[in-house]
Structure 1
């Protein structure tokens, strides 16, 4: 490549690599193209055969839109219907006219709503929801604090030398902004490693490699398929965990970081500030402003007392609110309530 200009061959190779990374050439993908599935028909058949007492749609667009079409086909014989919002459906897509119409149709027809953020409640009511709202809890469930102890390093938080970065770079994720911010404060990163997880694009892998070439700071990219325990272990050895997205709900990764003692720097689009204390046990920033992210990173790198105190505050908050048995009881109670719709 000369003068920074890509040849046709290089562009084609890059695009092919991206498509390969996204799984376009997998056996599964090819089978889907050869034998397309009529998901509406299949879901209708399953519901008719199983006759469930309750249907729970996990995600409005990816599950509830399809379920809504089946409900139209079944009319009054449809069971109690719970809909869970995973963040972007209400937070972002309600502003898109075509999506808003479908979201409103779902909310007007479902019986129960489960969400992660307090801010969603007035919004869903404005969109036409008239049913019952379950307790606001994370979609990921509760935390087994006894189990996660073994993944959290015993030393001080300020002595940790890992920075975690969530690697999504797509229509919502802004990992590249995070890498730019880290490059801007590379003067403070000697001895640190940047660990990037949930990487979903070749762009991030290239940007991370280039970051290391320019700064000399080591980056580790965790492959897809890395176990949950391994990711928890990295959070448990990290000083800072960064998550950037233009839309979100709580973000499971920020809760994991908090539980493992890592200082969370999270985009303002999340409702993570329902859980941590803004400015004291976490910092909220714009997901697309690398300068703002840089400032937050510098604060967390220089203020040892801040990160030590934050770890204690966050652990106490989560221990009180997110204990496994407490959340389990809330979920069981919610399902029991849903069963009463059909007289069970």
Structure 2
């Protein structure tokens, strides 16, 4: 089976595509942003370096920085368009299925080509806020409504997004809700787990941006500092100055970190009693799933009830219903700190859940079955 993946190069895509590494399928990747050859994806056929129509090597960056108007003009006249490059790749490869990751990144730019070749099967994986957030922006909603009727197969990271897709014109086959990164290496994550009684860290995702809402969490933490004298507060992923300013909070044992490596984050999670992630929009939060695998008790926002598909409130975690409400978040933290038995039972439940639904082996097996299910009928005869 020939599979043509269309995506930007990021960690989620690498993790997902690695599931196909020894599948026996012939895998191609069209780098939609033309970011260049990826050594991490060396096992697949990469379609890169397709865009530059002028100054392919030296001088291009110089012109872009110093003479942006001239660069824009030359680029528009001489560079190869996404549609032209993708159509060329499509005709050369003749794939059994095209698989796009993220609608506005990897579906909209190739829609005209996919509409032209309507017999080519098209699969779309939605990520995070791909549908939930962008449906509220008119120009993006137009893209959503134009793309979804052409899509043959849909994979989401939460059941919520299948409902949204159906609302906006998807009539193809829903292949299921699967973790966006293709599951987690539980043996590696869980090899150094601490027991609940050994954990004294409250770990907070520090995003404060379009969707991230770390500030209400930190304000809640500061407002109850007298209850946290026995705990270490660690923030990661902080880039907003308002978040990094909490580093100097004298009443707390708090460390605010910028971007940490994935391994560093997993190590922290394996020692954390509570993990808090808060945003106004997301799919199924991958970081929260990693926290669950790592034994940290999740307190997580619940946009569109996506998180509630995995977390049952006051059972295996706590759901933040108003991501801006500092008082609600404060009460959730107090509840967790005062209910050790809930945390211990959640630890056991979440470890079992991870083994059943989040392990890399099981997710990969399911993923490969999905690809196998869409092989054209004439090939299976």
Q: 2:171 corresponds to which residue? A: 130
- Out of 309, 316, 323, the position equivalent to 1:274 is 309
The offset of 1:307, in angstroms, is 1.1
Q: 1:140 corresponds to which residue? A: 181
Going from structure 1 to structure 2, the CA distance change for 1:256 and 1:31 (only over 3 Å counts) comes to farther
- Answer yes or no: is 1:193 the counterpart of 2:236: no
The offset of 1:129, in angstroms, is 0.7
1:197-212 correspondence to structure 2 within 5 Å? 197-206=236-245, 208-210=246-248, 212=249
Going from structure 1 to structure 2, the CA distance change for 1:47 and 1:31 (only over 3 Å counts) comes to farther
Higher RCO structure (Cα 8 Å, ≥6 apart): 1
Going from structure 1 to structure 2, the CA distance change for 1:328 and 1:205 (only over 3 Å counts) comes to same
Q: 2: distance between equivalents of 1:331 and 1:294?
A: 39
SS of the equivalent of 1:261 reads coil
Q: 1:25 corresponds to which residue? A: none
Q: 2: distance between equivalents of 1:336 and 1:323?
A: 20
- Out of 328, 340, 343, the position equivalent to 2:376 is 340
Report Cα offsets for 1:140-189 as digits up to 9, x if no partner.
21223222222422xx3143111111121111110111111111111111
Q: Which protein has the bigger strand share?
A: 2
Q: Which protein has the bigger helix share?
A: 1
Q: 2: distance between equivalents of 1:129 and 1:341?
A: 22
Report Cα offsets for 1:4-56 as digits up to 9, x if no partner.
xxxxxxxxxxxxxxxxxxxxxxxx98786566564444444443444433222
Q: 2: distance between equivalents of 1:88 and 1:122?
A: 14
Question: Which is worse superposed, 45-54 or 99-108?
Answer: 45-54
1:1-344 correspondence to structure 2 within 5 Å? 38-72=81-115, 75-76=116-117, 79-153=120-194, 156-206=195-245, 208-210=246-248, 212-213=249-250, 215-221=251-257, 223-224=258-259, 226-269=260-303, 271-285=306-320, 286-340=322-376
Q: Runs of 5+ in structure 1 lacking a partner?
A: 1-27
Q: 1: distance between equivalents of 2:85 and 2:378?
A: 23
Q: Runs of 5+ in structure 2 lacking a partner?
A: 1-59
Q: 2: distance between equivalents of 1:187 and 1:176?
A: 19
Provide the TM-score with structure 2 as the length reference: 0.74
Report Cα offsets for 1:196-250 as digits up to 9, x if no partner.
22234333223x224x24x2422141x43x3322211101100110111101111
Going from structure 1 to structure 2, the CA distance change for 1:32 and 1:131 (only over 3 Å counts) comes to farther
The offset of 1:77, in angstroms, is 6.3
SS of the equivalent of 2:202 reads strand
Going from structure 1 to structure 2, the CA distance change for 1:334 and 1:232 (only over 3 Å counts) comes to same
Going from structure 1 to structure 2, the CA distance change for 1:303 and 1:159 (only over 3 Å counts) comes to farther
User: Number of residues paired by the alignment?
Assistant: 309
CA RMSD of aligned residues (A): 2.5
Report Cα offsets for 1:101-127 as digits up to 9, x if no partner.
210111111111001222223332221
